[in-house]
């Protein structure tokens, strides 16, 4: 019975992990530029002498759904959406480079351009700092331009250019902070052909309906795993009673 109990336990454990991942995806259905995570579960037959009657539930590597989200027009000058397979370069809490598709930008009190989640957006010269200005605009090539205070539109000045890179999809991994990095630690590859859309945002690529259906499927799978453990206990009790009678 211990084998049956172990199989039910491992199945329930991995199903619970998959349910947690799915719940996180559902919670981020409205997060700008969010990429859904997924867990891969598979069965592995136990090898050895005797009949092949035992199968373990195992989890594979966690993955990221890289399907682009829909681009929605907002009209806000600080909203940008990345086109194609590019990524924005940001600075994480440790001061290192990381990558994101989030484009809901804000200006801090000291004029630093940051994502809606608080990370500094990097340009060709490091974190982008915007001096006092009359107006600000972001071009399709990533150029950040301002019209200085007290000046007319003809005095528009480019102060920096947003860094846009491509990554190796086979190396992409998401950190606990939600930022993207490469497993091998390599930096992204600058790509001059990348373009962004100003005044727009990329939505999350999580499909709420699919996530809800998967939540139901995982809940039913978990119930089945718990039933296996319960049945193993009942069978063990029945065996013990038979031994006492004999």
Q: Are residues 37 and 127 in the same domain?
A: no
pLDDT recorded at residue 74: 94
Q: Are residues 128 and 47 in the same domain?
A: no
**The residue count for the chain:** 246
Q: Are residues 132 and 58 in the same domain?
A: no
Q: Are residues 139 and 59 in the same domain?
A: no
Q: Are residues 95 and 175 in the same domain?
A: yes
Q: Are residues 57 and 156 in the same domain?
A: no
Nearest to 160 by CA among 128, 196, 132, 114: 128
Q: How confident is the model at residue 185 (pLDDT cuts 50, 70, 90)?
A: confident
Residue 22's domain spans which residues?
2-65+206-245
Mean pLDDT of 98-110: 94
Q: What's the whole-number average pLDDT of the chain?
A: 87
The DSSP annotation for 48-86 comes to SSS----EEEEE---EE--PPPPEEE---TTBEEE-TT-
Q: Are residues 103 and 224 in the same domain?
A: no
Q: Is the model more confident about 82 or about 47?
A: 82
Q: Are residues 132 and 49 in the same domain?
A: no
Give pTM, 2 decimals: 0.79
Nearest to 197 by CA among 86, 66, 31: 86
Q: pLDDT, tens digit, for every residue of 125-153?
A: 899 999 988 999 999 999 999 998 888 88
**Can you tell me which residue has the tokens 């001059």?**
192
61 Cβ contact list (under 8 Å, min separation 6)? 40
How many domains would you assign to the chain?
2
Whether the CB-CB separation of 204 and 69 falls below 8 Å is answered with yes
Q: Are residues 159 and 101 in the same domain?
A: yes
- Give the pairing of strands 87-91 and 120-123: antiparallel
| 215 token code pair | 């939540």
Q: Are residues 114 and 230 in the same domain?
A: no
Q: How confident is the model at residue 54 (pLDDT cuts 50, 70, 90)?
A: low
């Amino acid at each position: 019975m211990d084998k049956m109990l172990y199989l039910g336990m491992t199945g329930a454990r991995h199903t619970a992990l998959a349910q947690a991942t799915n719940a996180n995806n559902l919670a981020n259905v409205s997060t700008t530029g969010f990429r859904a995570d997924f867990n891969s579960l598979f069965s592995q037959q136990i090898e050895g002498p005797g009949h092949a009657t035992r199968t373990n539930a195992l989890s594979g590597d966690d993955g990221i759904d890289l399907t682009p989200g829909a681009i929605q027009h907002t009209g806000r000058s600080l909203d940008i959406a990345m086109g194609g397979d590019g990524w924005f370069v940001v600075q994480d809490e440790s001061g290192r480079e990381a990558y994101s598709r989030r484009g809901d930008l804000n200006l801090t009190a000291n004029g630093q351009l940051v994502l809606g989640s608080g990370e500094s957006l990097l340009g060709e010269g490091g974190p982008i700092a915007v001096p006092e200005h009359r107006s600000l605009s972001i071009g399709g090539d990533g150029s950040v331009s301002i019209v200085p205070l007290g000046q007319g539109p003809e005095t528009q000045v480019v102060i920096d250019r947003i860094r846009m890179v491509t990554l190796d999809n086979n190396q992409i991994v998401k950190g606990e902070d939600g930022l993207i990095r490469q497993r091998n630690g390599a930096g992204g590859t600058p790509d001059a052909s990348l373009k962004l859309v100003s005044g727009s945002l990329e939505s999350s690529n999580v499909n709420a309906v699919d996530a809800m259906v998967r939540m139901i499927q995982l809940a039913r799978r978990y119930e089945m795993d718990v039933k296996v453990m319960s049945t193993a206990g009942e069978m063990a009790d029945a065996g013990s009673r038979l031994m006492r009678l004999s």
